Amino acid sequence: MRRGGIQEEMGVDNDVLRQAPLFSALDDESMAALHASMSETKLRRGDVLFHEGDSGDKLYVVLDGKVKLGRTSSDGRENLLAIMGPGQMFGELSLFDPGPRSATVTAVTDATFASLSHEDLLKWLDGRPVVARGLLAQLAGRLRKANDVVADLVFSDVPGRVAKALLDLADRFGRTADDGVHVHHDLTQEELAQLVGASRETVNKALADFAQRGWIKLEARAVVLLDTVRLARRAR
Amino acid sequence: MRRGGIQEEMGVDNDVLRQAPLFSALDDESMAALHASMSETKLRRGDVLFHEGDSGDKLYVVLDGKVKLGRTSSDGRENLLAIMGPGQMFGELSLFDPGPRSATVTAVTDATFASLSHEDLLKWLDGRPVVARGLLAQLAGRLRKANDVVADLVFSDVPGRVAKALLDLADRFGRTADDGVHVHHDLTQEELAQLVGASRETVNKALADFAQRGWIKLEARAVVLLDTVRLARRAR
DNA sequence: CACTCGATGTGACTTATGGCACGGATAGGA
DNA sequence: TCCTATCCGTGCCATAAGTCACATCGAGTG
């Protein structure tokens, strides 16, 4: 929970920004303008970028590494809304729906971000309806996903949600090899549990069960998916 | 589940549209333009406007009445994402994140809507960055709410979620009187249960318990909140 | 009016999951 | 290198909530 090691500097690598779906379609001129108004931030694993309840109006794009967006209940339990990797954006909520940050963002690995202030974004947005639409699409996609999560919480049991989470992580961070899909998710089982809204123990048992069936192989902060078909079947 | 009784006609009452947060700040010229491209739809209680999986790219604003947005799981169970009343908007997802409708919309009471096609909206959006921002704010607010729902499902028990749902319904549809806040939510307990993601029986028991404690009074498809303070305490 | 059908109450039973309590493994600092 | 803090694995028990099974109620309809 320590906060520290934050460094900022101007000037951000264009190429990585292009990875962000939101910015991928920009012409060079817009890109340069964007580029100029963004600054870079670095965090080490475990560092907190901002806390739920903080004020702040910056939008961040992950350049490298992974972060978790989490919320804490009144009695201290934690729940993860999402894991974000390179090219993904977060912090937009406070931009358009002013108010305190709705989640705490913590680096899951060492990570670097590009950030853009509310003011700069709006200035930069006005002349470019294409980008506005991109943002709308982005938010709409996130909303759709959030609704799916709700449905999963209501309809699926814990093993089902774990299976789904593994497949999702594999989709975004997995590398396919001969022996299966290697997924270095960098999450502890505790964090995985918070992501699917269950206790560490139950998630552990679900994972052990999948492993015993030969569907996955467990590694340190990683898994290898051996039978995605059965996993997917278990997920629905 | 019958689909029917849908009527469309052009020309929509301006005043009701002004209720929609999204359109409230428009100048008369924009309002007229908007007005011209919208058409009106009426439904009777129980009628379905569209089903999950349907194609369709219209945005709707509730003019009068209430609808439920719901999804059905593979094994037929149902879950409600939201109840929408006058001034509220839905169907935006398929606008910005193209794809089939992600929920089924059913009238909970007789209801009328104004609708706007994707095409018309975009045309109308381009010159008006203010509206784009309004839409972004709207979506951001919805996303924030969806995240809250997720947190509730993870952290709260069923009575807690029921209490929260009652307070939320009261906020949006309640009328304060001497003997408490009257809330004609028009939902059966079954629907209420689907809204909070629980079984009808448990919701019924939670309600009975609240009533027995004197916090609420139960009526047909309505409740009177007698002690919002304790309800709120139970909710968190 | 009687009759239905949907909605509502409420108990008994079952089950998934949370919480506790450990022991063992591991890895990152001193 | 050792040592300490985390993380991981797993059994046991308590419990919230789902399911089943009814009784009841009430509003419309013939």
Asked if B153 and A151 come within 8 Å (Cβ–Cβ), the reply is: no
Whose tokens are 């963004």? That residue is: A38
Residue B69 phi/psi, 5-degree rounding, is -100, 120
Confidence of residue A215 (pLDDT cuts 50, 70, 90): very high
**For the segment A151-161, what is each residue's pLDDT rounded down to a tens digit?**
999 999 999 99
Instruction: Flag whether residue A171 sits within 8 Å of chain B, measured between CB atoms.
Output: no
Q: Which of A74, A92, A143 sits opposite B93 (nearest CB)?
A: A143
Contact B116, B59 (CB under 8 A): yes
Q: What per-residue confidence (pLDDT) applies to B168? A: 97
**For the segment A39-85, what is each residue's pLDDT rounded down to a tens digit?**
999 999 999 999 999 998 899 999 999 999 999 998 889 999 999 99
Query: How far, in Å, is the CA of B79 from the C1' of nucleotide C14?
Result: 24
Q: What per-residue confidence (pLDDT) applies to A5? A: 44
3-state secondary structure of A137: helix
* C-alpha radius of gyration, chain A, whole number: 19
Question: What is d(CA B231, CA B215) in angstroms, rounded to the nearest whole number?
Answer: 7
Residue B22 phi/psi, 5-degree rounding, is -65, -35
More confident residue, B156 or A128: B156
Tell which phi-psi region holds residue B131, choosing left (phi > 0), alpha (psi between -120 and 50) or beta: alpha
Residue A7 pLDDT > 50, yes or no?
no
Q: What per-residue confidence (pLDDT) applies to B135? A: 84
Of A52, A51, A53, A46, whose CA–CA distance to A67 is shortest?
A46
Contact B122, A137 (CB under 8 A): no
Q: What per-residue confidence (pLDDT) applies to B51? A: 94
Q: What per-residue confidence (pLDDT) applies to B20? A: 77
List the single protein residue with the shortest CA to C1' distance from D6.
A188
Q: Which nucleotides of D are covered by protein (CB under 7 A)?
A: 6-12, 16-21, 26-27
More confident residue, A132 or B228: B228
* Residue B181 buriedness (CB in 10 A; 0-12 / 13-18 / 19+): buried
Query: How far, in Å, is the CA of A36 from the C1' of nucleotide C1?
Result: 83
Question: What is d(CA A41, CA A106) in angstroms, rounded to the nearest whole number?
Answer: 13
Contact B158, B203 (CB under 8 A): yes
Q: What per-residue confidence (pLDDT) applies to B12? A: 57
Question: What is d(CA A176, CA B80) in angstroms, rounded to the nearest whole number?
Answer: 37
User: What is the pTM for the complete model shown?
Assistant: 0.89
Question: In this prediction, what percent of chain A has a pLDDT beyond 70?
Answer: 94
Residue type, A163: A
SS3 annotation, B113-179: EEEEEHHHHHHHHHCCHHHHHHHHHHHHHHHHHHHHHHHHHHHCCHHHHHHHHHHHHHHHHEEEECC
Mean pLDDT by 10 residues, chain B (236 residues): 45 67 76 84 92 92 94 92 93 82 94 90 79 85 94 97 98 92 96 97 97 94 95 95
Q: What per-residue confidence (pLDDT) applies to B2? A: 40
- What is the CB-side half-sphere exposure of residue A134 using CA atoms within 13 A? 13
Question: What is d(CA A106, CA B195) in angstroms, rounded to the nearest whole number?
Answer: 32
Contact A89, A22 (CB under 8 A): yes
Contact list in A for residue B68 (CB cut-off 8 A) is none
Residue A1 pLDDT > 70, yes or no?
no
- Its sign, for the CA torsion B181, B151, A95, B127, is negative
Contact list in B for residue A137 (CB cut-off 8 A) is 96-97
Q: What per-residue confidence (pLDDT) applies to A2? A: 40
Rounded to a whole number of angstroms, the distance from the CA of A201 to the nearest CA of chain B is 16
**For the segment A110-121, what is each residue's pLDDT rounded down to a tens digit?**
999 999 998 888
Residue A129 pLDDT > 70, yes or no?
yes
> What's the DSSP call for residue A133?
H
Contact B44, B67 (CB under 8 A): no
Q: What per-residue confidence (pLDDT) applies to A94? A: 77
Contact list in B for residue A79 (CB cut-off 8 A) is 150-151, 154-155
Contact list in A for residue B142 (CB cut-off 8 A) is 143
Residue A209 pLDDT > 60, yes or no?
yes
Question: Quick one: angle between helices A200-212 and A189-196, nearest 10?
Answer: 100
Residue of B nearest to A149 (CA): B150
Burial B38-50, CB ≥16 within 10 A → b, else e: bebbbbeeebbbb
* C-alpha distance across the termini of chain A, in Å: 35
Residue A9 pLDDT > 80, yes or no?
no
Averaged pLDDT of chain A: 88
Residue type, B55: S
Confidence of residue A193 (pLDDT cuts 50, 70, 90): very high
